[in-house]
Amino acid sequence: MAASLTAFSATGVLAAGAPSNGPSNEDLLKSASNTEAVLTYGMGPQAQRFSPLTDLNADTVKKLVPVWSFSFGGEKQRGQESQPIVYDGTIYVTGSYSRLYAVDARTGQKKWEYNHRLPDGIMPCCDVVNRGAAIYKDKIYFTTLDARLVALNRETGKVVWNKKLQDYKEGYSNTAAPMIVDGKIITGNSGGEFGVVGMVEARDAETGELVWQRPTIEGNMGTLNGKDSTVTGKTNASWPGDMYKTGGGATWLGGTYDPETKSLFFGTGNPAPWNSHLRPGDNLYTSSTLAINPDNGEIKWHYQTTPHDGWDFDGVNELVSFDLKKDGKVIKAGGKADRNGFFYVIDRSTGKLINATPFVTKITWAKGIDIETGRPIYVDENRPGAPGEGGGDAKGKSVFSAPAFLGAKNWMPMAYNPQTELFYVPANEWGMDIWNEPITYKKGAAYLGAGFTIKPLYDDYIGALRAVDPKTGKIVWEYKNPAPLWGGVLTTAGNLVFTGTPEGFLKAFDAKSGQEVWKFQTGSGVVGSPVTWKMDGEQYVAVVSGWGGAVPLWGGDVAKLVKDINQGGSLWVFKLPKA
């Protein structure tokens, strides 16, 4: 396939006639302001998912029309949670079962397709999803369900290198979009339900060779340039015995990067096993946010949202960097809508808690968050009981807990609009009956020690898109949806917020009022993340459609409510015509 004859300059503007060498480090750092492309997962390293484009607005969005739809084909449907990357007239999008496509952005014609050959015995916990790719220079990168990182030539789709990250036979997998920082490709891992050790890795983006590795479970040794570096935390400080060797804490959602503080921010998953009575202590650094030095993998600070987690409240949700304007000051802050039901505002330079407020209507496990200590004020009677309290191997006391373990917000990324100064959070209102059971670790086997049934809290809705003011925690407006919201959010300078629904709609809302101003039926549930860019003088929007993810697999009573939603696998592209 002939190479493209156009390229973006460091500012993202097409430089006609020059060979296309691909986006540089500088391009990626400036990608949030680049309206001609979508170069990073999160539409900028800080992952605000905000576009400065204004052609589409609350008035003109009524003229937004579909241009083409591209089918992923075959029988490999399942959940499609990808966010497209757009560069030089090509859309790069991942599909279920570790597939990657390059599609002509103007016509929808496939340029190439890569199908990763998956072995038998992969163990993804929550569907065979992939959330997106990373682009850098002449390569496109993505991770796979058998825990590998693949680099492809972005013009031809040919494999440049293919590196093993972890052993899938032990329960490891990878689903998150990688991230490029200073020529290094940064990845997290999946597999917390199998007693793996969570970690963040940095590899040379050209060669794939490991630069550093940082385990997220206290007591495990990190590496730097092929040698042991430092232990994460202090061995046995918050984990008993050898449990830190199977402690979970997977970094399965990937991370964000803040160039201002030069910090990677990674959320960490649940401790293993779920049965908290087996592992007394805070169980660092699970259910936390870590600030990591991208040069050497050292942890700068941590903030633990759910110490000694007993409800599977993964802390993986993204920390989105923003400027908090409060009391006449501007604070370098980060916003995080945690699975546990609280919206956290944290000083991203120090990790100090600024504020924490509920963004769902019912939280049973804690009365609130102590602002001085940063710790939850637990409701002790809402912790599931220890097995055997009734004698023998009897399961522990069951409790009804809200939110459910699928979270007040799960993986689906929120957006921040610096003009409205609001976060747009896809939330869900559900609870669960949860109880603990006896469990012992076995390599490659599920390591839960708990049982559960998820139930909706209300008859009329489960999902709620909420506009949250980070200064006060106040919910400014909300849109209620019958089925759970499981897709990402996009916001624009045109005063718009886009998100998808399981019922198949891509919807647009007025960013200030929450009024629904546009919708389109894609034919399957939308659990992907929409993006927007400008091409040939017209503003485009793209989203992946294809129902799946964790809800149909783990949703209990909620899964029964959404069992008739059609599966699919398509990339939809829309535009606002010039005339």
Q: Which residues are annotated as a binding site?
A: 81, 131, 175, 193, 270, 312, 410-411
What's the CA gap between 271 and 309, in Å, rounded?
7
One-character DSSP codes across 3-64: PPSEEE-TTS-EEETS------HHHHHTGGG-TT-B-STTSSTT---EE---SS-TTGGGG-
Q: How far is CA 177 from CA 161, 182, 307, in A?
A: 17, 17, 27
Cis peptide before 285 (omega within 30 of 0): yes
What's the CA gap between 338 and 319, in Å, rounded?
9
One-character DSSP codes across 358-391: ESSS---SEEEE-TTT--EEE-GGGSPPPTTTTS
- Asked if 555 contacts 574 with a C-beta cutoff of 8 angstroms, the reply is no
Which amino acid, 359? F
Structural tokens at position 168? 């899938």
Summarize the annotated binding site for pyrroloquinoline quinone as residue ranges.
81, 131, 175, 410-411
Collapsing DSSP to helix, strand or coil, 19 comes out as: coil
Collapsing DSSP to helix, strand or coil, 192 comes out as: helix
- Asked if 297 contacts 473 with a C-beta cutoff of 8 angstroms, the reply is no
Catalytic residue among 312, 314, 338, 459: 312
Cis peptide before 530 (omega within 30 of 0): no
- Asked if 383 contacts 310 with a C-beta cutoff of 8 angstroms, the reply is yes
Q: In this structure, what is the dihedral angle of CA atoms 559, 562, 566, 572, given to the nearest 10 degrees?
A: -100
The closest alpha carbon to 300, from 344, 226, 350, 364, belongs to 350
- Asked if 64 contacts 574 with a C-beta cutoff of 8 angstroms, the reply is yes
Backbone angles phi, psi at 73, to 5 degrees: 75, 175
- Asked if 233 contacts 253 with a C-beta cutoff of 8 angstroms, the reply is no
Is 312 known to be catalytic? yes
Summarize the annotated binding site for Ca(2+) as residue ranges.
193, 270, 312
Collapsing DSSP to helix, strand or coil, 420 comes out as: coil
Cβ count near 146 (within 10 Å): 24
Alpha helix stretches (DSSP H) within 87-193: none
Report, as residue numbers or ranges, the catalytic residues.
312
